[in-house]
Amino acid sequence: MQQPTVSIVTPVYKVKDYIADCVQSVINQTYEKLEFILVDDCGGDNSIDIAESILKTASHPGFSYHIIRLEHNSGVSVARNTAMKAATGDYIFCLDSDDKLLPECISHLVEKAELTNADITLCDYTSGGNAQNRGGKLTAPVKHITTNAECIHAFAKSWFNVAPWCKLLRRNFIESNQLYFKEGIINEDAPWTFQLCLNAQCMAFVNEKLYYYRDNQNSIMSLTQQEQMNIAGTYTLLLMSQEISQRQDLLLSLDGYLIWIRQVIIFYTRIYKKCDSKTFSENLKLLDKIIIDSPYAKVNANVSKYYRLWNIVFILPKWFRRPYSYLIIWLQNKIS
């Protein structure tokens, strides 16, 4: 049986201190049939030159690489989408250019994917330094799931990290459902992973730490870009509310509610902590657009007390929403 090809896609932007390790980790994979696609997102340093110099000396059967140079800095979503659309492999794997793979990463993921015919195959990750506190570890209590409802349940229960990495994806699954990243926003990982799970029929889990995540202080998550994060958060909330409302199975399920309320809480808690009261008040206007008609989004619903408190926000007079939501966030932070 012919071994499937895996396309590893990597945006490259201001990672001169990390890119050598990243590239070498791909070269060192025990899996042979690899297509490595790097997209130069015009970071202004010599990151892509470092990568190319290493790749020029790398040759083994089944390994190939391609470098795509964008005309100007376009952002990580454009870079990833460019690489994914150029990919020719049976599978696609997203690797950030400041991270690296353990040698058996692709081999173990492909083995599991081929065995289960999964649309998405996930592994766990390891890290060091400040990155150890990132969270989002693989906690799936099963080895694979085989229905769309189960895939959505896995997302609702946070069985895995929403980051693009640690996921081996069938290319035909991506292409047939047009599952590309939203361009022009940051924090694009949550809405993308949500849409993956909306479409997936089978997911498999490899309970091994096969990816090494590093804390890059120059990365997008380390910069103070609160306005852009508010825009991205608004997009994600609107997307989730719309998708859940359009699917009766999600609208009536506890999983659909949990996905929605968790995002509501994440969005407003971050603004409470990072922005001023005026910004918080302005974003409360969004509440009327994101409410879902779920039986769990009621004051007396059988959900946790904190979620019920948030359900109340949506029925309060507009003038009382800010002090009330401020109070419940403050109380929750004090308790936790």
User: What pLDDT is stored for residue 106 in this prediction?
Assistant: 98
Domain termination site, one of 221, 243, 265: 221
Whether residue 84 is contained in a domain is answered as yes
Question: What's the pLDDT at 129?
Answer: 67
Q: What's the rounded Cα separation, in Å, for the pair 282 and 97?
A: 36
**Structure-token pair, residue 138:** 């693989």
Residues 109 and 239 in one domain: no
**135 plus 254 within the same structural domain:** no
What is the predicted pLDDT for the residue at 216? 72
Let me know if residue 1 belongs to a domain. no
Residue 261 resides in a domain: yes
Paired sense of beta strands 34-40 and 6-12, if any: parallel
Tell me, yes or no, whether 246 and 216 share the same domain.
no
pLDDT at 47: 97
- 192 and 87 assigned to the same domain: yes
Distance CA 191, CA 187 (A): 8
DSSP annotation string for 183-195: TT-S--HHHHHHH
Q: Which tens digit of pLDDT belongs to each residue from 64-76?
A: 999 999 999 999 9
Burial class (CB in 10 A: 0-12, 13-18, 19+), 67: middle
43: in domain: yes
- Report the alpha-carbon distance of residue 311 to residue 300 in Å, rounded: 9
Mean local confidence (pLDDT), 137-166: 97
105, 185: one domain: yes
What local confidence, expressed as pLDDT, does residue 132 receive?
Answer: 56
Q: Is 328 helix (H, G, I), strand (E, B) or coil?
A: helix
Q: What is the mean pLDDT of residues 160-177?
A: 97
pLDDT value at 61 more than 90: no
138/122 same-domain check: yes
Q: What percent of the chain has pLDDT over 70?
A: 95
221 pLDDT more than 70:
no
The pLDDT of residue 135: 63
Phi, psi (5° rounding) for residue 95? -120, 120
Query: Nearest Cα to 31, choosing from 141, 87, 108?
Result: 108
| Token pair of 151 as six digits | 């895939």
Q: Are 81 and 181 in contact (CB under 8 A)?
A: yes
Q: Please report whether residue 139 resides in a domain.
A: yes
In a domain, residue 208? The reply is yes
How is residue 162 written in tokens? 């929403």
Contact 332, 306 (CB under 8 A): yes
Classify residue 211: in a domain, yes or no: yes
pLDDT confidence of residue 223:
40
- Do 69 and 212 fall into the same domain? yes
Domain, as residue range, for 103 = 6-221
pLDDT at 130 over 90: no
Judge if 109 and 203 occupy the same domain. Answer: yes
Last residue of a domain, one of 154, 189, 221: 221
pLDDT at 222 over 70: no
Model confidence pLDDT, tens digit, residues 255-273? 999 999 999 999 999 999 9
Across all residues in the chain, what is the average pLDDT? 94
Q: The CATH number of the domain where 125 resides is what?
A: 3.90.550.10
Query: With left for phi above 0 and alpha for psi between -120 and 50, is residue 291 left, alpha or beta?
Result: beta
Whether 140 is in a domain gets the answer yes
Are residues 209 and 228 located together in one domain of the fold? no
10-55 residue pLDDT tens = 999 999 999 999 999 999 999 999 999 999 999 999 999 999 999 9
Structural domains of the chain, count:
2
Same domain, 180 and 255: no
Q: Do residue 95 and residue 205 come from a single domain?
A: yes
Summarize the confidence of residues 57-70 as an average pLDDT: 93
Are 33 and 120 members of one domain?
yes
Q: Name the percent of the chain lying above pLDDT 90.
A: 90
Q: How confident is the model at residue 224 (pLDDT cuts 50, 70, 90)?
A: low
Six-digit token string for 323:
């002090």
* pLDDT band with cut points at 50, 70 and 90 for residue 215: confident
Among 168, 188, 221, the domain-final residue is: 221
Q: Max alpha carbon distance in the chain (Å)?
A: 67
